[in-house]
């Protein structure tokens, strides 16, 4: 059965009406008929040793707990002696066929506009599907938080889209769903983003809802209380997750106590408890202005349609000066040090290794990204092939140079079997040192092919097009920056590769953060060569 958009909208409206007609008696009827006293299975999970907390009449599940000190590697079975009979063919499959013509990067046409109140608008019209992605991005984000009260930006992002002055949270959600749209808000390290995806035919109405959220906040007290509880619970859960613990300690070491990036962007247990509604309103009043806003649009909508839909935001949102925070960047370590967080009995160790490298605007960034591709930037990278494919220590290992206006880190990260902690860290350190010896022509060409050919598929969706606009507008790059970066990649030489590697891959001047079982893994790490590991409380 084929439905056009009008029929589909009508059908969704009817379904919504049926949902709204459900009564308490209907719910009770379903419960009595399908759930109450029906055969069922109950699983009861309690902390180790707390058997008094189990559900009544529970029986042991018989799960055998692995002893990490006795863990063994999975051996790959030998091939055996059976001879494999090849199927007859006229094609010589031992010879790799020649590669076809490299696909040309078709750079999308970008249009720009500046609204009367200072908002910068960037757009790409993509007519493939009747869909549109829209992002309102404000400079600042977590950067505008204070070190004595982290988490305010994240709380604003949680509460602001929950209703408007004229719409309750439920009414706003209903209107959004009836349009077939999604609206989300997030607080990044350097920007606050309100994103929407919608059908082209409902773009104008969706933009109207975004305008109402931005200019007429409800500041719903019930939603604020729920956001505080959710955030505090997520922080508590993160404190018990080794990967989160490792990430937070790594950033604390990188940026220090005097920089907001040295704190959990969601805040701390203590700061969340102290945040009040007035703190959210003050953040909003201080940091929400068209002066620091840009709008990114990609999809089946024209420049004229976008500007018409943004007219209310242009006329009603008045500009005001916003002062962006600036925090001191601490120096990198003169020599490497291992920091260990003890999670007793942990079956895995989480590893973060890195330091503050460079900004996205640095002229070396593209070359550094090129260098990283082979060591840890792809599934076929050296680190992943050794730690995952060859050793079987992990599901994945990677490294990258983060993108930020502020000096951002290079880091390698992985989670490995606990008994493989020492060997994994040694492999990462040794491979980075070996990589500094340089690559040959074959490796250099391999990196070029992978990075350039992948660009052809890089901008297939509206979301990826908005991402391209975001990078271009945030860092002040030209419209054809991707083509310029391709030229940098094409012209990389073995000598440049080595120079950049020597400059940015420095394994003896990095922070080494490990979260795992100290009783079995701490002592051996003294043999890595960086002295006695420092035991840190999470």
Output the DSSP codes for 226-291: HHHHHHHHHHHHHHT-HHHHHHHHHHHHHH-TTSGGGS-TT--HHHHHH--HHHHHHHHHHH--GG
Given a cut of 80, whether residue 75 has pLDDT beyond it is: no
> Residue 5's pLDDT is what?
62
DSSP single-letter state for residue 180: T
Alpha-carbon torsion angle 430, 436, 442, 445, nearest 10:
120
DSSP helix/strand/coil, 184:
strand
What SS3 string covers 445-482? HHHHHHHHHHHHHCCCCHHHHHHHHHHHHHCCCCCCHH
Structure confidence by residue, pLDDT tens digits, 135-153: 999 999 999 999 999 999 9
CA distances to 80, 143, 328, 508, 513 from 355, rounded to whole Å, are 47, 20, 16, 10, 11
Given a cut of 80, whether residue 66 has pLDDT beyond it is: no
What stretch of H or E contains 31?
helix 24-34
Calculate mean pLDDT across residues 263-270: 95
Structure confidence by residue, pLDDT tens digits, 100-138: 777 777 788 999 999 999 999 999 999 999 999 999 999
Q: What is the pairing mode between strands 337-342 and 511-516?
A: parallel
Given a cut of 70, whether residue 17 has pLDDT beyond it is: yes
Given a contact cutoff of 8 angstroms between Cβ atoms, the answer to whether 231 and 158 are in contact is yes
Q: Tell me the C-alpha distance between 406 and 469, whole Å.
A: 19
Q: What pLDDT band is residue 33 in, cutting at 50, 70 and 90?
A: very high
Structure confidence by residue, pLDDT tens digits, 484-534: 999 999 999 999 999 999 999 999 999 999 999 999 999 999 999 999 999
Structure confidence by residue, pLDDT tens digits, 459-469: 889 999 999 99
Alpha-carbon torsion angle 244, 246, 247, 250, nearest 10:
160
Q: Tell me the C-alpha distance between 535 and 515, whole Å.
A: 10
Q: Tell me the C-alpha distance between 417 and 431, whole Å.
A: 19
Residue of 345, 373, 402, 376 whose CA lies nearest to 520: 345
* Higher-confidence position of 32 and 70: 32
Domains and CATH numbers, the chain: 111-316 (3.30.830.10), 337-536 (3.30.830.10)
């Amino acid at each position: 059965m084929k439905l056009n958009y009008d029929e589909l909208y009508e059908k969704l409206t009817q379904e919504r009406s049926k949902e709204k007609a459900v009564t308490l008696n209907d719910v009770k009827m379903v419960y009595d008929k399908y759930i109450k006293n029906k055969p069922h299975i109950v699983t009861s999970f309690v902390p180790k040793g707390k058997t008094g907390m189990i559900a009544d009449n529970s029986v042991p599940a018989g799960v055998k707990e692995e002893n990490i000190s006795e863990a063994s590697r999975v051996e790959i079975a030998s091939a055996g002696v059976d001879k494999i009979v090849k199927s007859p063919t006229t094609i010589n499959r031992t010879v790799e066929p020649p590669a076809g013509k490299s696909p040309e990067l078709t750079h999308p046409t970008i249009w720009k506009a500046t609204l009367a109140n200072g908002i910068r608008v960037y757009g790409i019209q993509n007519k493939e599907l009747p869909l549109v992605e829209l992002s309102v991005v404000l400079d600042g984000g977590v950067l505008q938080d204070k070190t004595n009260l982290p988490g305010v930006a994240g709380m604003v992002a949680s509460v602001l889209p929950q209703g408007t002055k004229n719409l309750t949270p439920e009414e706003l959600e209903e209107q959004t769903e009836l349009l077939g749209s999604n609206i989300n808000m997030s607080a990044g390290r350097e920007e606050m983003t309100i994103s929407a995806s919608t059908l082209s035919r409902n773009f104008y109405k969706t933009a109207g809802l975004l305008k109402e959220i931005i200019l007429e906040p409800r500041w719903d007290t019930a939603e604020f209380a729920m956001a505080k509880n959710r955030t505090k619970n997520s922080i508590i859960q993160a404190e018990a997750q080794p990967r989160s613990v490792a990430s937070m300690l790594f950033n604390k070491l990188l940026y220090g106590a005097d920089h907001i990036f040295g704190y959990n962007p969601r805040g701390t247990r203590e700061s969340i408890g102290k945040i009040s509604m007035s703190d959210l309103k003050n953040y909003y009043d201080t940091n929400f202005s068209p002066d620091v806003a840009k709008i990114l649009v990609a999809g089946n909508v024209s420049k004229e349609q976008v500007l018409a839909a943004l007219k209310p935001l242009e006329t009603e949102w008045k500009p005001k000066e916003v002062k962006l925070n600036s925090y001191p960047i601490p120096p990198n370590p003169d020599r490497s040090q291992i920091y260990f967080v003890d999670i007793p009995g942990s079956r895995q160790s989480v590893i973060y290794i890195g330091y503050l490298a460079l900004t996205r605007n640095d002229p070396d960034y593209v070359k550094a990204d090129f260098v990283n591709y082979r060591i840890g930037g792809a599934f076929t990278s050296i680190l992943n092939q050794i730690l995952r494919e060859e050793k079987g220590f992990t599901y994945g290992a990677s490294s990258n140079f983060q993108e930020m206006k502020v000096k951002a880190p290079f880091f390698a990260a992985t989670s490995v079997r606990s008994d493989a902690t020492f060997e994994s860290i040694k492999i990462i350190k040794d491979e980075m040192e070996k990589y500094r010896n340089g690559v040959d022509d074959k490796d250099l060409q391999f990196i070029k092919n992978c990075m350039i050919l992948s660009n052809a598929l890089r901008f297939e969706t509206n979301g990826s097009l908005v991402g391209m606009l975001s990078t271009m507008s945030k860092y002040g790059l030209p419209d054809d920056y991707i083509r310029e970066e391709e030229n940098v990649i094409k012209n990389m030489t073995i000598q440049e590769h080595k120079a950049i590697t020597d400059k940015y891959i420095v394994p003896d001047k990095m922070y080494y953060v490990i979260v795992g079982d100290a009783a079995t893994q701490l002592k051996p790490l003294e043999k890595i060569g960086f002295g006695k590991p420092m035991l840190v409380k999470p």
